[in-house]
Amino acid sequence: MTLVKVRLVSGRSIGQGKGKELGKFSQQYFQSVAICELSSDDMNILAVPEGGNVRVKTDFGDVVVKAYTSKQSLPKGIAFMPYGPWANRLTDPETHGSGMPSLKGIEAEVSPALKEEVPTLETLVKNLYSEK
């Protein structure tokens, strides 16, 4: 199976900022945050179209999101995901005694997942969190 190894950086984006103000369950938030930005080289290796679905996997979990070529000039081997529940399926809770989890520079694998669906926030919450 085709895959690329990347170091995943999570962070803010203006779309994430605007989307969260429109509501965490809004379509704008979903479209801005359930994504992974890659370099054009990595997009070519994966052979997925713009907005095609990919699976991103780390030692801490995996999630399907939409892939886009980054407009922020990412070098090959670096992936970016906006802060949010999709990125946090993948981030490392280890704080190294600092209180700060490791949210940037995480080793990850990205592979095409064109036939799989990107989970909505409702689905993530229902499937992943305990029924009370």
Partner 1 sequence: MTALSEKIISDVVCTICGTGCDDLQIRIKDGKIIEAKNACAVSISKFLEQHAQRYSSPMIRRDGELKCASFDEAVCKAATILSESRYPILLGWSLTSAEATCIGVELAELVGGVVDNNTGFCHGPGLIGAQDIGVSTCTLGEVRHRADVVVYWGANPIHAHPRHIARYTVLSKGRFREGRKERKMIVVDVRKTDTARMADLFIQIEPNGDYELLSALRMAVKGEELEQQVIAGVSSERIEELADLLVRCEFGIIFYGVGLTMSRGKSRNLDAALSLVRDLNRSTKFLIMPMRGHFNVCGANEVTSWITGYPYAVDLSRGYPFYNPGETSAVDILSRRECDAALVVSSDPVSHLPYSVAKYLSEIPLVTMDPHVTATTMVSDVAFPTAIMGIEASGSLYRMDGVVLECKKLLDPPQSVKSDVDVLRAILDRVKSLKGA
Considering only residues 21, 51, 59, 116, which one is a binding residue for partner 1 as defined by CB under 8 A?
Answer: 21
Q: Is the distance from CB of 53 to CB of 66 less than 8 angstroms?
A: yes
CA distance 97 to 89: 21
Considering only residues 48, 67, 103, 118, which one is a binding residue for partner 1 as defined by CB under 8 A?
Answer: 103
3-state secondary structure of 45: helix
Interface stretch with partner 1, choices 23-31, 40-48, 49-57, 110-118 (CB under 8 A): 23-31
Q: Is the distance from CB of 113 to CB of 55 less than 8 angstroms?
A: yes
* Residue 93 beta carbon to partner 1: minimum distance, rounded to whole angstroms: 4
Residue type at 76?
Answer: K
115 binds partner 1 (CB under 8 A): no
Q: For residue 26, which of 36, 37, 18, 38 has the smallest C-alpha distance?
A: 18
Q: Which residues are near partner 1 by CB under 8 A? A: 7, 9, 11-14, 17-19, 21-26, 60-61, 70-75, 78, 80, 83-85, 88-89, 91-93, 95-105, 121, 124-125, 128-132
